[in-house]
Amino acid sequence: MVDRSWFARNLETVIARPTLVGRFLWWLLMSRLPFPGKEARLKPGVRWGGFASFGDYLYQKDGPNVSLREYVKSSLRTALRPVVFDVGANLGTFSLFVCSTRPEATVFAFEPIKNTFLGLQRNLEPFTPAARALRLAVGSSCEELVSFSLDPASPATAQVAGMSGVAAPEHASPMTTVDSFMESYSIDRLDLVKIDVEGYEIEVLEGASGALSKKRIAALCIEVCPRNLEGFGKTARDLFLTIRRFGYSIAYYDPRAASWERDLTLERSLAFDLADVLCRPE
């Protein structure tokens, strides 16, 4: 039986955009059949799913946006056997694109929320063991348990809420750092690190200070959302200054113009309301 509240939330999306009725009925059918992880097609031969809502499906069904795809291609073009971290992997759009584009890559996908992680794990199954789903948060320190707050309108989206031993198990996970994880797995160099952690990006960078200072990370792909950063008392300026402090330049691929802006100035960088940027050692 379809949960009415679930149905109503998704129906609102369709009412707002009536042209989506056909897609909604197809998604409703696929999401209710016993085929977890097979609700969308990223590219031929790569099917995946686990979406929390129809809006989530619409947003993610085609995989990473054009900018992220360009960053992957640009960053991994000359890497022989790329090693990639997907920090804030969600259901795996980014990891799946890397795996399907570069099958020889080793991908570590970090996702702390239980239900989202289970979807990520299912989606990456065809690419294991090269692709590994890890139920871990990534930040500036190693913690036994970190709690998260979930957005009711987007259950797959979560923000760090604080260090806590009393959070519901599905809303809490251990936290590691990039530096600590690299040491534990004897990883000398990372070809690409994607960071999309709903405003917690600066903390992830601080937890990678050792690798960044030694330029052991060849490229960073970072989501910049000033509103999310404000939730942690930070600003986009703080984020960009942190990136520059570690000696990395900032570039942006504009999908509308199909062109690159390299070595962005701080002023230009601050003009973004929401963007993904590519950072490389200067």
* Higher pLDDT, residue 170 or 183: 183
According to the per-residue pLDDT averaged within each range, which of 11-15, 44-48, 92-96 is highest? 92-96
- Predicted confidence at residue 156, as pLDDT, reads 61
- Asked if residue 210 and residue 169 are part of one domain, the reply reads yes
Q: Which of 38, 45, 92 is nearest to 68 (CA)?
A: 92
Rounded distance, CA 194 to CA 93, Å?
11
For residue 56, how many other CB atoms are within 10 A of its CB? 20
Helix, strand or coil, per DSSP, at residue 252 = strand
CATH at residue 99: 3.40.50.150
- Asked if residue 121 and residue 85 are part of one domain, the reply reads yes
pLDDT per position as a tens digit, 106-125: 999 999 999 899 999 999 99
Is the four-CA dihedral 115, 121, 124, 126 of positive or negative sign? Answer: negative
Half-sphere exposure of 90 (CA within 13 A, CB side): 26
pLDDT per position as a tens digit, 31-85: 777 655 567 888 777 888 888 777 788 788 888 999 999 999 999 999 999 999 9
70 falls within a domain: no
- Asked if residue 87 and residue 153 are part of one domain, the reply reads yes
- Asked if residue 174 and residue 102 are part of one domain, the reply reads yes
- Asked if residue 129 and residue 238 are part of one domain, the reply reads yes
44 falls within a domain: yes
141 falls within a domain: yes
For residue 115, how many other CB atoms are within 10 A of its CB? 15
198 falls within a domain: yes
- Asked if residue 109 and residue 16 are part of one domain, the reply reads no
Look up the domain containing 28 and give its range.
4-60
176 falls within a domain: yes
Is pLDDT of 186 > 90? yes
171 falls within a domain: yes
CA angle 91, 115, 277 (to 5 degrees): 30
66 falls within a domain: no
Work out the percent of the chain whose per-residue pLDDT is above 90: 63
Helix, strand or coil, per DSSP, at residue 88 = coil
Q: Tally the domains of the chain.
A: 2
- Asked if residue 44 and residue 174 are part of one domain, the reply reads no
Q: Which of 100, 125, 70, 123 is nearest to 255 (CA)?
A: 70
- Asked if residue 39 and residue 107 are part of one domain, the reply reads no
Asked if 252 contacts 243 with a C-beta cutoff of 8 angstroms, the reply is no
* Higher pLDDT, residue 6 or 74: 74
185 falls within a domain: yes
Output the average pLDDT for the chain: 88
- Asked if residue 89 and residue 12 are part of one domain, the reply reads no
- Asked if residue 125 and residue 9 are part of one domain, the reply reads no
Q: What HEC string does 93-145 produce?
A: HHHHHHHHHCCCCEEEEECCCHHHHHHHHHHHHHHCCCEEEECCEECCCCEEE
